[in-house]
Amino acid sequence: MANDPAYAHPETLVSSEWLAAHLNDPEIRIVDATYHLPTAKRDPRAEYGAERIPGAVFFDIDGISDPNTELPHMIPKAADFAVAVSALGISNDHHVICYDTHGLMSAARAWWMFRLFGHDRVSLLDGGLPKWKREGRPVDGRPVAPARADFTARLRPELVRSKAEVKSNIASQAAQVLDARSAGRFRGADPEPRPGLRGGHIPGSQNLPYNLLVDADTKVVLAAAQLRAKFAEAGIDPAKPVITSCGSGVTACVLALGLHLIGAGPVAVYDGSWSEWGLPGDTPVEK
């Protein structure tokens, strides 16, 4: 499915050619998991309604989240995730294909969430909607009314980390921490897109902006050797545990994806990320 046979998990990516050939397979479910930062002032659901890959349902990252916190799109309970994706017509037997309008940004969050809740038959469309459209493949805005399916969710706690666990890790150094935000935000030189947050980064963490894992022109994920080089440049040893972080737990999943592709392990995502850590309080910050 993936272009590079050197990936440790080539099934994680599907090409536009593959998806076009399997668009009508009954075992395939396609999800548009587009999300935009609040500062973008864009409505991903409206964009989905106007233009999407035929048959795709909308995976609302904000909607499929914990309603009992003010932090953005924190993971829901397993039972709530099961209800939400069952309503999207997705069962445990389906092969889920995730994409977004960026190429690769928020789709990785949906990919990670499916894996977090026990579903391994999930892939990302390499190059996302930009590559799909560039190749002249079909898009439409016809209504999609999925028949309810039966999805059972089982949380894998090893794939997610809390603030308390990340704080404890500062002293123990049991895992490497890798931040997906831009270099300016990581250094504390550029403002955060959400108000009220301090600038800087988790003490001892390293920085690898998520967009560096894809080709800037084609939006496809870098080859395995290039990914390994990017992580090495960031000071990350893929043979040791890694915790990925970002602004709100979305692009941290892009780093988790890249590490998964090269066979790194174990990798966990700090769900609260900087939206939680950067709040005024008891979390230490480096600049």
Q: Which residues are catalytic?
A: 246
- Cα 276 from Cα 278, distance rounded (Å): 6
Q: Are 224 and 158 in contact (CB under 8 A)?
A: no
- Residue 128's closest CA among 261, 260, 224, 221? 221
- Cα 139 from Cα 53, distance rounded (Å): 5
- Cα 270 from Cα 286, distance rounded (Å): 17
Q: Is 55 left (phi over 0), alpha (psi -120 to 50) or beta?
A: left
- Cα 112 from Cα 109, distance rounded (Å): 5
Q: Mark out the alpha helices in 38-106 (DSSP H runs).
A: 44-50, 78-87
Q: 30 by DSSP, 3-state: which?
A: strand
Which residues share a beta bridge with 32? 58, 99
